[in-house]
Amino acid sequence: MKLWGGRFTRPTDTRVDDFHSSIGFDWQLYRYDIMGSQAHARGLARARVITEADADLIVEGLEQILTDIEAGKLPFSVEAEDIHMNIEAELIARIGEPGRRLHTGRSRNDQVAVDTRLYLKDQLSKIEGMILELQQALVEQAEATKNYIMPGFTHLQPAQPILAAHHFLAYVEMFQRDRERLADCYKRVDVCPLGAGALAGVTYPIDREWVAQQLGFSAVTANSLDAVSARDYLIEFISAAGILMMHISRLCEEIILWATPAFNFIELDDAFSTGSSIMPQKKNPDVAELARGKTGRVVGHLVGLLTMMKGLPLAYNKDMQEDKEAMFDTVHTCVGVLGVMTPMIRSMQVKPERMENACVEGFLTATDLADYLVRKGVPFRSAHEIVGKIVLYCTENQLTLADLSTAELRRFAPEADDDVQETISLQASVNARMVIGGTAPAAVENALSRARKLVADRLLRGAN
Ligand code: ARG
């Protein structure tokens, strides 16, 4: 049975039903569709468009439908097309005429927009909370590694020594911005489109603000055309999710590298690693790899939606139904990835000796030696060249900087005194970077207290 069948004389081709039906995925909106319909029914009664008695029957009937859906007792039909019409048809089947009054002063166009916004509000809040947990795991790792010195890299070449905690805290900052982006996006999602109708607004005196308030929205949309045809709030979410996934992917890439025998900076917990079906010795970082790989689909959804929307005239066009799978998949991907990332980070072991050895092998205090010569009056460019020659000499003779005596150093740089040795130690190098945001232990201690405050609070408090 089609709820819009009046002007048609022939039934829809079943191939069309299969093609345009969205129930296969938009069933996930059922709870929000029911919430939206209940608030709409109350709004109609308040405006005296339907009776309070009918509104009661509608609200109660929808409540029972919700219970039955959650109990898995209500199969959906492809013929009814989407979640909105599945539920409305079921309501009519159950309560008859009052059910036929529900769609007064409403269109599926404002209905689908309100469902999506309600769904997204919950998901934004849930994902924000999950990022917070990931940050907490990173802060724990930072606490545990605040005395560990590791190589910092540029071009993936050993560059300067840093505290391992400093590295973990860099990700805390990235994820903080991700949370802020989601919280900011929330403001634009948190607007109620009900009352926009199909495109031009409705003819019934519905109190839009009251309905919006019932649903927990902070505002109502200001333009009916925009209300039914805007998808930028969703694109914004997917964009923020894409950036989040990109950050997760970078972290995963480092975990993968660090877990290789070549780096050997960390040991992943057995519970978060997998084996090989053929090579008995293998312990693979599959979780991190899969998380890195899943970034691609979220970025793909972003490009897909921007492309889908870019040529659409106002107002609603069926093309927009394509937003749903992108939205659901983005949510499921972020939730799934964050759900395993946090315990993987929390359970991994960091290996300080390996990190420190990598610093020694990589001439990581070469910049400090140049800075030392600058303090002795050598122009920086000349100091750079002198230290470059020292590094070359060490490489040719399989030596590290620490192997050179002061006398040997003075052959290259007569300005060097005995105090040169303590300046070019790893610890001295780190200690010297006392600027705000630097890697000195005291600066990192400050960064840790900042991070502890950041992870003490949710930015969004929704249903989750
Ligand atoms: N399933 C549709 C969607 O997701 C609902 C809105 C349909 N509106 C319409 N006028 N055909 O976009």
DSSP state letters, 185-216: HHHHHSEE-TT-TTTT--SS---HHHHHHHTT
Class of the CATH-defined domain 109-357: mainly alpha
Kindly report whether the peptide bond that precedes residue 428 is cis, defined as omega within 30 degrees of 0. no
Question: What's the pLDDT at 96?
Answer: 97
Of 112, 114, 120, the one to substitute when testing ligand 1's pocket (max ligand atoms within 8 A of C-beta) is: 112
Ligand 1 atom 3, closest CA? 321
Question: Quick check: 15 and 5 in contact, CB under 8 A?
Answer: no
Spatial CA neighbour of 337 closest among 233, 239, 251: 251
Residue type, 246: M
The CA 54 to ligand 1 mean position distance, Å, reads 26
Architecture of the domain made up of 5-104: Orthogonal Bundle (1.10)
Residues of the chain with CATH 1.10.40.30: 361-454
Closest approach atom of ligand 1 to CA 320: 12
Residue nearest to atom 2 of ligand 1 (CA): 321
Q: Give Cα 41 to chain centroid, integer Å.
A: 35
Alpha-carbon gap, residue 234 to 225, rounded angstroms: 17
Distance from the alpha carbon of residue 336 to the mean position of ligand 1, in angstroms? 28
Terminal CA-CA length for the chain: 37
Nearest ligand 1 atom to the CA of 81 is 1
Using DSSP, state whether 314 is helix, strand or coil.
coil
| 250 burial type by CB count under 10 A (0-12 exposed, 13-18 middle, 19+ buried) | middle
Q: Which residues contact 457 (CB under 8 A, 6 or more apart)?
A: none
Q: How far is the CA of 81 from the centre of ligand 1 (A)?
A: 9
What is the reported pLDDT for 296?
A: 97
Q: Reduced to 3 states, what is the DSSP secondary structure of residue 293?
A: helix
Q: Could you tell me how far CA 335 lies from the centroid of its own chain?
A: 8
The 3-state DSSP composition of the chain as helix, strand, coil percent (nearest 5) reads: 65, 5, 30
Separation of CA 109 and ligand 1 centre (Å): 6
pLDDT score for 464: 45
**Residue ranges, CATH 1.20.200.10, the chain:** 109-357
The CB of 229 under 6 Å from ligand 1? The reply is no
Ligand 1 pocket, 412 CB below 6 A?
no
Looking at residue 26, its pLDDT comes to: 97
In short, whether 324's Cβ falls inside 6 Å of ligand 1 is: yes
Dist. CA 355–CA 263, nearest whole Å? 8
260-295 b/e with 16+ CB inside 10 Å = b? eeebebbbbeeebbeeeeeeeeeeebebbbebbebb
CB 5 within 8 A of CB 61: no
**C-alpha 363: how far from chain center:** 37
Given the CA of residue 22, which atom of ligand 1 is nearest to it? 1
CA of 110 to the centre of ligand 1 (A): 9
Of 60, 132, 140, nearest in space to 94 by CA: 60
- Token pair of 62 as six digits: 């929808």
Ligand 1 atom nearest residue 82's Cα: 1
Residues of the chain with CATH 1.10.275.10: 5-104
State in Å: Cα 176 to ligand 1 middle: 36
Question: What's phi and psi for 388, nearest 5 deg?
Answer: -55, -40
pLDDT at 463: 46
23 lines ligand 1 (CB under 6 A): no
Q: CB of 73 closer than 6 A to ligand 1? A: no
Per-residue pLDDT of the chain (464 residues), as tens digits, is 688 888 899 999 999 999 999 999 999 999 999 999 999 999 999 999 999 999 999 999 999 999 999 999 999 998 899 999 999 999 999 999 999 999 999 999 999 999 999 999 999 999 999 999 999 999 999 999 999 999 999 999 999 999 999 999 999 999 999 999 999 999 999 999 999 999 999 999 999 999 999 999 999 999 999 999 999 999 999 999 999 999 999 999 999 999 999 999 999 999 999 988 888 888 899 999 999 999 999 999 999 999 999 999 999 999 999 999 999 999 999 999 999 999 999 999 999 999 999 998 889 999 999 999 999 999 999 999 999 999 999 999 999 998 999 999 999 999 999 899 988 899 999 999 999 999 999 999 999 999 999 999 999 986 44
CATH architecture of 361-454: Orthogonal Bundle (1.10)
pTM equals 0.95
Whether 155 is a known active-site residue: answer: yes
SS3 285: coil
- How far is ligand 1, taken at its centre, from the CA of residue 195, in Å? 16
d(CA 304, CA 281): 41
Between CA 164 and CA 357 the distance in angstroms is 14
315 lines ligand 1 (CB under 6 A): no
Q: Which of 37, 107, 273, 276 is catalytic?
A: 276
Find the 18 Cα to ligand 1 centroid distance in Å: 15
166 assigned to active site: no
Top mutation candidate among 110, 312, 321, 323 for ligand 1, by most atoms within 8 Å of CB? 321
Best residue for ligand 1 mutational test, from 108, 111, 305, 314 (most atoms within 8 Å of Cβ): 108
Among residues 20, 155, 247, 405, the one annotated as catalytic is 155
Atom of ligand 1 nearest to the CA of 198: 10
pLDDT of residue 4: 85
What pLDDT does 3 receive?
82
